[in-house]
């Protein structure tokens, strides 16, 4: 499919709007919430709930490039601060899961109130467990169907759940939980369930102390006889106890489809953090008299010029892969391969670019006076969550070579 890399006019306006939000609302409080890890960034949360989420007036909701605009928004806001981006009161990954696997009725029921007035609310997605990370088919959390009440009963523990505190504790929010309805069915038994905030049996066990994205709440959640209506199983109202399928149930495949939408967003987040570091370094070195001579022959370029050009090239390659994966979603086309390519490239690029930025600035780069060291710490998560670098490379190899996961693991 031919893809134009020219942004639509409305996407450009949205980009400008979110850059202003990043500059004026996020950067000034970036260091504060990096240092106060588990404190709610109230000024940011209130701003976003009341104003930021509306987007540039008439722009995000009006005709635009669809999913490309979502990625452009992620890049701009993560240029501001990736952790605050993850702390925004939105359906977030939980919303991606409902969008990918939910029925129209479920999308309406779980997502529409995020646009209404009221107090800020959050969504989250809980897949990872102490014994199941990259291999999500190893999930042990169970969902037993109770015919008498037409409910599922969840039991298990989920770890590293982004936005898990807000989504589990604040009325109106929800956590999408992956659980197996039949362990003997392997992947086929895994389904996703929407657990509304404060459902009895869902407990916030604690929050992680982290290397980076410290303003983002990363939670451990325990489920003990936690009951949800059968209608909260994403994709269909009910699945038989043996994991049998009913019309409309997308099961494990539906749940996995969430990644095709979330990976380009994480890739865009990575591009935003990488750009923050690169912009800063170019500006700072410019003040010291360093000018990048793009037309100078390679043999006469300085080491710094070569480094900066390489950083720019890596960033641009990651961005174009991201927009390609996003454009395919907007066009209703499969993007499984392209989503993993974007995520693998951007995850690696951002870790290399931010490390180089720290290096090029010398001791100042390592100092907490600047945000560059923070961007280096914030970068790495983009190479871990939503499938690690290695897992995305594995997916790319499978798609290109046409190998099933059983043959290439």
Ligand X SMILES: Cc1cc2nc3c(=O)[nH]c(=O)nc-3n(C[C@H](O)[C@H](O)[C@H](O)COP(=O)(O)OP(=O)(O)OC[C@H]3O[C@@H](n4cnc5c(N)ncnc54)[C@H](O)[C@@H]3O)c2cc1C
CA distance 140 to 146: 19
Asked if residues 143 and 193 have their Cβ atoms less than 8 Å apart, the reply is: yes
Least Cβ distance, residue 16 to ligand X (angstroms): 30
Which residue has its beta carbon closest to ligand X? 133
**Residue 268 or 394 with smaller CB distance to ligand X:** 394
Selection from 98, 67, 64, 128 nearest residue 338 by Cα: 67
Q: Which of 16, 23, 39, 134 binds ligand X (CB under 6 A)?
A: 134
**Residue 125 or 321 with smaller CB distance to ligand X:** 125
* CB proximity list for 406: less than 8 A, separation 6 or greater: none
Q: Which of 10, 69, 73, 218 binds ligand X (CB under 6 A)?
A: 218
Least Cβ distance, residue 257 to ligand X (angstroms): 15
Least Cβ distance, residue 388 to ligand X (angstroms): 3
Selection from 349, 316, 336, 350 nearest residue 396 by Cα: 336
Q: Which stretch binds ligand X (CB under 6 A): 120-128, 225-233, 250-258, 358-366?
A: 120-128
- C-alpha count within 13 angstroms, C-beta hemisphere, residue 333: 13
Asked if residues 248 and 327 have their Cβ atoms less than 8 Å apart, the reply is: no
| The pairing of beta strand 123-126 with beta strand 174-180 | parallel
Q: Which stretch binds ligand X (CB under 6 A): 34-42, 295-303, 322-330, 377-385?
A: 377-385
CA distance 378 to 355: 11
Q: Which of 56, 161, 175, 190 binds ligand X (CB under 6 A)?
A: 161
Tell me: does residue 125 bind ligand X (CB under 6 A). Answer: yes
Q: Residue 179 carries which DSSP code?
A: E
Asked about 75 being catalytic, the answer comes back as no
Least Cβ distance, residue 270 to ligand X (angstroms): 14
CA distance 196 to 98: 13
- In order, the DSSP letters of 340-391 are HHHHHHHHHHHHHHHHHHHHHTTHHHHSTTSSHHHHHHHHGGGGTSSS-HHH
Classified as helix, coil or strand, 360 is helix
Least Cβ distance, residue 164 to ligand X (angstroms): 7
Catalytic residue among 165, 314, 373, 386: 386
**Residue 36 or 306 with smaller CB distance to ligand X:** 36
Q: Which of 127, 226, 230, 311 binds ligand X (CB under 6 A)?
A: 127
Q: Which of 68, 101, 126, 361 binds ligand X (CB under 6 A)?
A: 126
Token couple for 302: 């300085």
The count of chain residues that interact with ligand X, using the rule CB under 6 A, is 21
Least Cβ distance, residue 389 to ligand X (angstroms): 6
**Residue 327 or 398 with smaller CB distance to ligand X:** 398
**Residue 199 or 389 with smaller CB distance to ligand X:** 389
CA distance 267 to 161: 19
Q: Mark out the alpha helices in 180-333 (DSSP H runs).
A: 251-287, 303-330
CA distance 33 to 83: 9
Tell me: does residue 266 bind ligand X (CB under 6 A). Answer: no
Asked if residues 18 and 69 have their Cβ atoms less than 8 Å apart, the reply is: no
Tell me: does residue 64 bind ligand X (CB under 6 A). Answer: no
Within 303-342, the residues that bind ligand X by CB under 6 A are: none
Give residue 290's Cα distance to chain centre: 35
Within 74-103, the residues that bind ligand X by CB under 6 A are: 93
Tell me: does residue 210 bind ligand X (CB under 6 A). Answer: yes
Q: Which stretch binds ligand X (CB under 6 A): 71-79, 128-136, 275-283, 290-298?
A: 128-136
Interaction site with ligand X (CB under 6 A): 93, 125-128, 133-134, 160-162, 210, 213, 218, 381, 384-385, 388, 390-391, 394, 409
Question: Could you list the active site residues?
Answer: 386
């Amino acid at each position: 499919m031919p893809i134009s890399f020219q942004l639509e006019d409305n996407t450009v306006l949205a980009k400008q709007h979110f850059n202003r939000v990043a500059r004026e609302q996020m950067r000034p409080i970036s260091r504060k919430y990096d240092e106060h890890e588990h404190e709610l960034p109230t000024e940011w949360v209130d701003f976003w709930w009341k104003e930021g989420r509306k987007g540039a007036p008439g722009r995000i909701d009006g005709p635009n490039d669809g999913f490309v605009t979502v990625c452009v928004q992620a890049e701009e806001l993560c240029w501001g601060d990736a952790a605050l981006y993850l702390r925004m009161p939105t359906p977030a990954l939980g919303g991606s899961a409902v969008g990918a696997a939910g029925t129209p009725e479920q999308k309406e029921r779980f997502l529409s109130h995020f646009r209404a007035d009221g107090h800020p609310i959050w969504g989250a997605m809980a897949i990872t467990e102490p014994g199941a990370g990259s291999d999500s088919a190893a999930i042990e959390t169970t969902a037993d169907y109770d015919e008498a009440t037409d409910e599922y009963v969840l039991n298990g523990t989920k770890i590293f759940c982004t936005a898990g505190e807000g989504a589990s504790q604040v009325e109106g929010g929800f956590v999408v939980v992956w659980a197996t309805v039949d362990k003997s069915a392997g992947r086929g038994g895994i389904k996703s369930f929407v657990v509304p905030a404060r459902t009895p049996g869902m407990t916030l066990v604690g929050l992680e102390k982290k290397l980076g994205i410290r303003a983002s709440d990363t939670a451990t959640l325990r489920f003990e006889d936690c009951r949800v209506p059968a209608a909260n199983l994403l994709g269909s109202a009910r699945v038989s106890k043996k994991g049998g399928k009913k019309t409309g149930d997308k099961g494990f495949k539906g749940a996995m489809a969430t990644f095709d939408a979330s990976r380009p967003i994480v890739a865009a987040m990575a591009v935003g953090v990488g750009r923050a570091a690169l912009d800063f370094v170019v500006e700072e070195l410019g003040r010291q008299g360093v000018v990048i001579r793009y037309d100078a022959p390679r043999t006469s370029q300085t080491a710094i010029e070569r480094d900066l050009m390489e950083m720019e090239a890596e960033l641009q390659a990651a961005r174009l892969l991201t927009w390609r994966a996003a454009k395919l979603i907007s066009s209703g086309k499969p993007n499984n391969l392209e989503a993993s390519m974007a995520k693998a490239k951007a995850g690696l690029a951002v870790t290399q670019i931010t490390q180089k930025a720290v290096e090029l600035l010398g001791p100042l780069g390592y100092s907490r006076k600047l945000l560059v060291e923070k961007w280096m710490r914030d970068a790495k998560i983009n190479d871990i969550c939503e499938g690690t670098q290695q897992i995305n490379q594995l997916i790319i190899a499978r798609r290109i070579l046409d190998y099933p996961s059983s043959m290439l693991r």
